[in-house]
Amino acid sequence: MAPLLASVIASEAKQSRHAWRSHADGPAAALDVSNAARGLLDCFASLAVTAHKEGPPVQRLTISLDDNIAAAIDAFMEKQGYSNRSEAVRDLVRDALVRSEEAGTSTHRCVAAVSYVYDYDGRDLAMRLDKAQHENHDLTISSMRTRLDHRHCMEVTLLRGHTDAVRKLAAQTMAERGVHFGQVNIVPIRDGGEEHRHDEDGHHHVHSTPAL
């Protein structure tokens, strides 16, 4: 949309400049100015409607930040490659909401990725981790394990289910003795998804649409 926006605005602006320069020529030039201005307004109105249709509804909020916080956000933007503050602040707020207990449980269901490193030879730890996944097979989607050296493994386990149960299993896993660098990334999903299929040959499934 950006190239199209630039092209349309440049064209309309060119017409406006030409009309203003010819303003002294009489009423006809004044009519050109009016038409050019109207063209710009129509252009922005059309783009606003298109942008509204293409994305979810948004609310504009005005916030006040200390200079050091604003500077930290700008540094975060540059490091992560954000193009504007709104996108950066939106992601920071979303991450904070997801990590809070209240936001995590308000949607009831979630998907999550639990990552950790553990000692494969440490006191049957690998067996205990596997057993926990089998005992919670209704929550466990899959797991992937990679060997880091002769003793240590990194494992990523994907979970889906009620948020309280997912948090509990993730916390138990990361609390196991011998498990290090435990992290959990929880994505709240919308409630009320119904099993369906998209065509006669398609399989039945439920969408796990993120809630934020």
pLDDT tens digit at each of 212 positions of the chain:
444 444 544 554 555 555 545 555 555 554 454 555 555 455 554 544 444 445 567 788 888 888 988 899 999 999 989 988 888 888 888 777 766 655 444 568 899 999 999 988 767 888 999 999 999 999 999 999 999 998 899 999 999 999 999 999 999 999 998 899 999 998 888 766 666 667 777 676 677 787 76
Give the SS3 label for residue 5.
helix
Beta strands (DSSP E) in 26-139 are: 109-119
Where does a domain end: 76, 99, 122? 99
Closest residue by Cα to residue 155 from 136, 175, 186, 183? 183
Closest residue by Cα to residue 194 from 176, 208, 183? 208
- Model pTM? 0.54
CATH number at residue 160: 3.30.70.1150
Residues 115 and 182 in one domain: yes
The owner of tokens 């809070």 is 100
Rounded to the nearest 5 percent, the helix, strand and coil shares of the chain are: 50, 20, 25
* Structural domain span for residue 75: 67-99
Residues 115 and 156 in one domain: yes
d(CA 47, CA 32) in angstroms, rounded, equals 23
Number of domains in the chain: 3
With beta carbons less than 8 A apart as the criterion, state whether 160 and 210 touch. Answer: no
Does some domain include residue 180?
A: yes
Does some domain include residue 201?
A: no
Does some domain include residue 122?
A: yes
Q: What are phi and psi of 188, to 5 degrees?
A: -65, 140
Residues 115 and 165 in one domain: yes
Residues 130 and 174 in one domain: yes
Closest residue by Cα to residue 138 from 105, 164, 162, 115? 162
